[in-house]
Amino acid sequence: MIVNRKPLTIWERLYLPAIVGGFKVTARHLFRSLFGGKAVTMEYPEQKWAVPPDYRGAPYLVRDQDGNTKCVSCQLCEFICPPKAIKIIPPGPTGPLADRPNAEKMPLEFEINMLRCIFCGYCQEVCPEEAIFLLKDYSLTGLSRNEMIYNKEKLLALGGVHGGIQKWKHTLEEAKAQEDFPVNV
């Protein structure tokens, strides 16, 4: 199709409407930003943005409502982590037992290297215990590479409480309830 272009007037060929229009627009923006306070810059770190829900921040280990840790060292998150940022040392047959009732085991050591983590959220998706969650931290800093490898204490401390279904407590209660269940023998 042929676009109908009107021939330029003499003023337009001298670029005068473009010149004047340019001055008007930029002057308007200049005075608005300079004196009207309408610059759109967000002055980080004095002004911070609101983290939306479901934001994939840094992954941390969480406790449940009773203060028990949830991780049972199944190592699924370690196997699924794409950059292999998670390193878990399982307790083994002779290692320490879990620090809460009715849990089979807990990790001897749990490290996440925050410099390798890509914040994809796969570990949160795959965890069967809902023990690891990507929370809202986005600016992690450290003065050395070793400082950025977070171990279990730090992860638990940063994770806080994230209550949910306490499935092992409920299975324990169901198992105890079954002991008094009348059976026709």
Query: Applying CB under 8 A, which part among 27-35, 64-72, 145-153, 177-185 lies near other proteins?
Result: 27-35
| Residue among 39 and 97 whose Cβ is closer to other proteins | 39
19 binding other proteins? (CB under 8 A): yes
- Could you say which of 9, 17, 22, 115 contacts other proteins (CB under 8 A)? 22
Query: Applying CB under 8 A, which part among 19-27, 81-89, 105-113, 124-132 lies near other proteins?
Result: 19-27
| Residue among 43 and 180 whose Cβ is closer to other proteins | 43
Pinpoint the alpha helices (H) of 14-91: 16-35, 76-80
- Could you say which of 9, 11, 29, 173 contacts other proteins (CB under 8 A)? 29
Kindly state the smallest distance separating residue 138's Cβ from other proteins, in Å: 20
Our CA dihedral for 31, 44, 133, 123, rounded to 10 degrees, sits at 90
Kindly state the smallest distance separating residue 46's Cβ from other proteins, in Å: 10
Residue 105 burial by CB count (10 A; 0-12/13-18/19+): exposed, middle or buried? middle
Whole-angstrom distance, CA of residue 102 vs CA of residue 98? 8
Q: How many residues of this chain bind other proteins (CB under 8 A)?
A: 16
- State which of positions 42-61 bind other proteins (CB under 8 A): 43
In order of 57, 58, 122, 134, 154, the CA distances from 127 in angstroms are 17, 16, 9, 12, 19
16 binding other proteins? (CB under 8 A): no
